[in-house]
Chains A and B, each alone.
Chain A
Amino acid sequence: MNLKRIKAVAGKEWLEIVRDKVFFSLAFVVPVVMMILLGYGLSLDVENIPFTIVDHDKTPLSRDYAYRFIGSRYFSFLGYSKDDRSVDDLLASNTARAAIIIPPDFEKNLISGRPASVQTLIDGTFPFRAQTTKGYVIAINSAASMDFMADYISKKKGISKERAEKLLRPVSLETRYLYNQSLKSVWSIAPKLIMLILMVSPPFLTALGVVREKETGSIYNIYVSTVSRAEFLIGKLFPYMAISAVNSLILFLFATELFGAPFKGSLLLFFASTIIYVICTTGIGLLASVFVQTQTSAMIVTSIITLVPAVLYSGILIPVSSLEKSAQIVAHLLPAMYYTNIVIACFMKGVGIEHFWKDILILSLYAFSLLFLGYLFFRKRTKA
């Protein structure tokens, strides 16, 4: 191993990157743009659910009831629909995601102390949204029930409404949200976006860089040079890792400053783990690039092996513990999950290294094996 030669390869690679001004700026612009767009847009908050109401009763009480939905910030009212058929169309055309159908005799039943059944139709194409919408509907309905019943009981028994409400609600649940007190989606998403973006961008840069030499044939210069395999790979990968390391710092600042995500852990540990993770993802790019011959397939292969798993199996949207068995196995085989654990530990939980040293260890092993495999499979000399 000769440091001078490594430096030469790295220098050559660096020049090649910097001289392609468009590529060089994209290497920094892409992560930042992703961070901003996804930070604002990638949200599991279910709000502004477009919905419609069919009021078969048309009484003051039914309008009062409808207003409980219309006034809620979770729903966005599209206007009353005249019949059930137009509701079908609104749901099928994705205009409305929910519809509330108030039955005839709604007021009559409630005033005379009988229950009234209200039908809610929910668009189930996106199960998570449907579940959450259902939660809102149940909450609004039970609050309405509580009101109606408290009124009824206070009149019937001659007690105050407050007393009646107390009687009706013998159990109250005090919920404490841990790690993300305000249930702000962006606080939990923004730090994990660092994981996602560093999973996508370094392998792309690396794979394109390595395969470019193969495809344009400039790799023949390397074949005939005195540079060894290891020297070439280290020199080649170093500039890409450096760019990604800078990017991770920028992304960290975006997460904490722009999106205000709280950081509770140790900065040093976080950045050390981040560097290991970047080496890992760069290694994925390297491994992808040794198996493909063209930049087109390099792009396809890296995007499929990084992007999709980084979303599905990393815990960014879905915690690994709630995945099915098969998917849990996949998740444990990929590095993204371990880094997500570290991100959560450092950002939201602020727990010490004793909680995530295993994750760091596994990531390091990963980084080492990926680079080693890349080294094994990388042929300086193509087979004749």
Chain B
Amino acid sequence: MTTADSISVFRIWIRRLHVMTVKEFLQLFRDLVLLVFIIYAFTADIYLAGSGVSLQVKEAPVYFMDNDKSQASREFLGRFLPPYFRVKGEVISPIEGTALLDKGDAMIVVDIPSSFQKSIFSGEPARIQVQIDTTNSGLGFLASSYAQQIAGKYGLEMAMERIGLVDSGHINAPMIIDDHRVWFNPNQDDRWFMSLSELLTIVTLFSVLLPGAAMVREKERGTVEQLLVSPLSSFQIMFPKVLSMTTVILIGSAISILFIIKGVFHVPLKGSLVLFFSITTLYVFTTAGLGLFISTIAKNLAQVGMMTVLIFVPMLFLSGAWTPPEAMPAWMRTVMYISPLHYYIDTGFGILLKGAGVRILWREILGMAALGSVIFGLGMWRFRKQFG
């Protein structure tokens, strides 16, 4: 083969790829409902998730039962302040308190014993009872930890003053001064976490579903037969599907990052956007491989739908997009190493919030690339075996 020949072979190869890609785009854009939903997902949906949802104890409703009615008890109760707590009112009997907790109107009921002030001054420990609604264990824990902090601080202040360990504001005691700093999101603004987390979710959903569905649709409608008798290689059939969807997903994420995440929520994008989008591309390819793999197993779209749920939902929930992954049992954390989303979350948050670069994230990037080639390779192999 001469050079000219190989150039023309290459040209034809590219042309075929091009034609197929155009076809995929056309097919996508003609499904108007789908298009509207893609736009909705990358804008309004991310806005909604970021703006209203927060996993923190915020102004938890507090009711109290003050049996002492002393200065000390009032001062103690006065410490249940926003942002964590808001005192809603007083209850007269324990039954009333329980009823409020049952209805969900109270999260905490504080019960101060009648001898509160007396025992504090006499040096006998005063016992305060606190009832906390822990139907949500995580928030219940936070609320109880804040209440403990209030009681601990109050008690210590009283004690130190009485024992004489404080000398005009100067502490003369061997205590640990807790100086904690929260990095990367100093005010613990949930909107930063939620909007980014939602973006990663949406990207995952589309990249698993769209290419796989596009493939099975050809199978279900029989158009795959036409493609198979055409001079297209299996790569030329599969790759354009991934290419077109990747383009759509990248444009979608660019819009949501610029207009929603940066524009509305003012998330400081610390790292390199070029790196972020390169990794997103890598991620979409990897996940699309998963979708294509599903499509080679499934016979119809209904099966694709169910299998996607089967893979997508655990992947989504267990990768750390919604809950801290450290809390999972060890075996499950190990399983998560085969989830591309696990790597994408680490790199995504790493680049955008922490400003990390390749030097720090190379392990995750390598892991995702390795996973991607294996999954994509498997998909191609199954496709060839099925139709080759």
Contacts and interface: CB of A to CB of B under 8 A. Distances in A.
Interface of A: 20, 22-23, 26-27, 29-30, 33-34, 37-38, 40-50, 65, 76, 89, 91-94, 97, 109-132, 134-139, 141-142, 144-145, 148-149, 151-153, 166-181, 183-185, 187-188, 200-201, 204-205, 208-209, 212, 215-216, 291-301, 303-304, 307-308, 311-313, 315, 317-319, 321-328, 330, 341, 344, 348-349, 351, 355
A116 B176 CA distance: 5
B145 to A, nearest CB: 4
A34 to B, nearest CB: 6
B361 A148 contact: no
B183 A115 contact: no
Interface size class of B (residues with CB under 8 A): 35 or more
B33 A301 contact: yes
B384 interface: no
Given A89-B360, A212-B302, A324-B52, A170 B123 contact: yes
B101 interface: yes
Contacts of A116: 174-177
Given A41-B314, A131-B56, A177-B134, A294 B34 contact: yes
Nearest to A303: B205
Contact of A170 (B142, B146, B159): B159
Nearest to A305: B37
A49 B325 CA distance: 10
Nearest to A212: B302
Contacts of A184: 137
B6 interface: no
A200 B205 CA distance: 14
Interface stretch (B8-16, B276-284, B315-323): B315-323
A178 B144 contact: no
Given A175-B132, A300-B209, A127 B139 contact: no
B61 to A, nearest CB: 8
A169 B119 CA distance: 12
A82 B16 CA distance: 57
B29 to A, nearest CB: 12
From A151, A179, A323, residue with most partner B Cβ within 10 Å: A179
B212 to A, nearest CB: 9
Interface of B: 31, 33-34, 37-38, 40-41, 45, 48-49, 51-61, 76, 101-104, 107, 119-120, 123-142, 144-149, 151-152, 154-156, 158-160, 162-163, 165, 171-186, 188-190, 192-193, 198, 201, 205-206, 209-210, 213-214, 217, 220, 298-310, 312-314, 317-318, 320, 322-324, 326-329, 332, 346, 349-350, 353-356, 360-361, 363
A20 B322 contact: no
From A94, A114, A183, A184, residue with most partner B Cβ within 10 Å: A94
The 9 A-B residue pairs with the shortest CB-CB distance, nearest first, are A327-B52, A44-B138, A135-B145, A124-B185, A26-B306, A171-B155, A297-B34, A127-B188, A295-B301
Contacts of A130: 182, 185, 188
Contacts of B326: 46-50, 76, 97, 129
Given A131-B57, A304-B45, 4 more contacts: A117-B177, A118-B176, A176-B129, A183-B137
A132 B182 CA distance: 12
Given A115-B177, A118-B177, A44 B324 contact: yes
B365 to A, nearest CB: 11
A296 B322 contact: no
A12 B52 CA distance: 44
A296 B34 contact: yes
A51 to B, nearest CB: 10
B181 A171 contact: no
Given A48-B327, A171-B125, A185-B137, A123 B56 contact: no
Contact of B302 (A152, A200, A295): A295
B135 A319 contact: yes
B182 A43 contact: no
A200 B309 contact: yes
Given A37-B314, A300-B34, A216 B51 contact: no
A384 to B, nearest CB: 19
Nearest to B128: A173
Contacts of B360: 89, 92-93
Given A22-B303, A128-B138, A326 B51 contact: yes
A128 B332 CA distance: 21
Given A131-B188, A148-B174, A174-B128, A322 B49 contact: no
Contact of B60 (A315, A322, A341): A322
